[in-house]
Amino acid sequence: MANEFAGKIFELIKQGKRKEAERLVKQAIAIEPETAGDYLKRGIGYSYSGGMEATLADYQKAVEFDPDNIDARLRLGGMLLMLKQHRKVLEEYEEIIRLEPDNPQGHRFKVTALVELEGD
In the chain, how many domains are there?
A: 1
State the 10-residue block means of pLDDT for the chain, 120 residues long: 79 87 84 89 88 93 96 95 93 96 95 88
pLDDT value for 79: 94
Boundaries of domain holding 106: 2-119
pLDDT value for 120: 73
pTM for the model stands at 0.84
pLDDT value for 75: 94
pLDDT value for 50: 84
CATH classification at residue 63: 1.25.40.10
Helix crossing, 70-82 with 36-49: angle to 10°? 30
pLDDT value for 1: 64
Note the Cα 80 to chain centre separation in Å: 9
Note the Cα 105 to chain centre separation in Å: 13
